Amino acid sequence: MSEQVKKRRTSIYKRDPWEMGKGKHPVRECLPELFRPAASYEDKFSQESGFGTGESSIFRLRVRRLCKRAIFWLLILALILGAAAAATLAWKVQTVAADDTARYAGADLIDASGVTAGDIMLGIDGDAVESRLRTAYPLIAHVRIKRSLGGQVTVIAEEEQRVYYTQHYMNYYLISGETMEVLYVDSTPEMWSSVDAVYVGLPEEARLRRGEKLTYEYLPYPGENAGQEISTYDVRSDNPAKEFAYIAKVLDAVMESPFGPRVTGIELSDKYDIWFVMDGHIRIVLGNDRDIDVKLQNAAQTLSGKDLSVRASVDASAPDKVTYQEKADLVLPEWAD
């Protein structure tokens, strides 16, 4: 290497970095003319070297290296994706299992889930399975899918812990006690005889549509039931959120009280005449929703020590005065039984 080139290379590192962009480029000057990088974008393609001449520039060498690396990593990525796809297709369902619930047999849940042996394990859509099961069995609240490496799929179904039902106009509706979602609608009450549900009397402004939450906002049509005509109504409220806030308040208070497990129905259609039935033959009157917790506590104290096997009426509408009266001829609605 000539002394002149050595001096030029050494001067590169001694030169002020701030001066590197000024004047002649020291690195470009140290290289032979053939291998010098283009001085600007305009003359990149004005160098003497070119394709087919056997001459290569540093620019083209760098491009070739980048292309080789890109192709290498693309091949690696393709191999990985191919292996993952092969493993996915090979992992198939061998067996399907489901435990019995309080109301439904495990074999019925398996049939309704739509999952069968031979299905691709990762192709099972949990949301679709839950939708099919809840359509077939309205009292199912949640569904989980558990997969094992051995090829077993376990369908885990959880039922609604608390269920309400109501008769609204000409139809009967089943409502989730957890989410207040309308689970089922029918024109006959036969289904409710086999369901341990609590009756809830609702005002005319209530709007019920299957698959949606109970609301009091105005809807021009109610929920639909395939193959049946559902009655329509046009009653509405100007401020439903405020006017019917008492329903959730009273319902939660009664069901969370000591009376909760023994309540057979509660009438909430009139906010000034709220009452519920305990054990199917004891009516407890609460009046309005004010001091609801105090009224429930007073009613419980009044009934302590009483014979709960006879028909009776408890009026706890006044917090400071509670009356108890046994009534053999007490008339209660059909839902109370």
Q: Tokens at residue 91, please?
A: 């992992």
Q: Tokens at residue 278, please?
A: 């305990």
Residues in the chain: 337
CB 256 within 8 A of CB 312: no
Give the distance from CA 201 to its chain's centroid: 28
Catalogue all structural domains in the chain, each as residue range(s) with its CATH number: 95-159 (3.10.20.310), 163-336 (3.40.50.11690)
Confidence (pLDDT) at 40: 47
**pLDDT tens sequence for the chain (337 residues):** 556 545 555 554 444 444 444 445 555 555 455 444 544 444 444 444 444 444 456 777 778 788 888 888 888 888 888 777 666 665 788 889 999 998 899 999 999 998 988 888 878 888 999 999 998 998 999 999 998 888 889 999 999 989 999 988 788 899 999 999 999 888 777 776 778 889 999 998 888 888 889 988 876 654 444 444 444 556 666 788 888 999 999 999 999 999 999 999 999 999 999 999 999 999 999 999 999 999 999 999 999 989 999 999 999 999 888 999 998 888 888 888 7
Range 297-335 burial, b when 16+ CB lie within 10 A, else e = bbbeebbeeeeeeebbbbbbbeeeebeeeeeeebebeeb
Give the distance from CA 6 to its chain's centroid: 72
Residue 286's φ and ψ, nearest 5 degrees, are: -110, -15
Q: Which helix (H) or strand (E) holds 325?
A: strand 321-326
Confidence (pLDDT) at 325: 93
Confidence (pLDDT) at 210: 85
Q: How far apart are CA 151 and CA 325, in angstroms?
A: 64
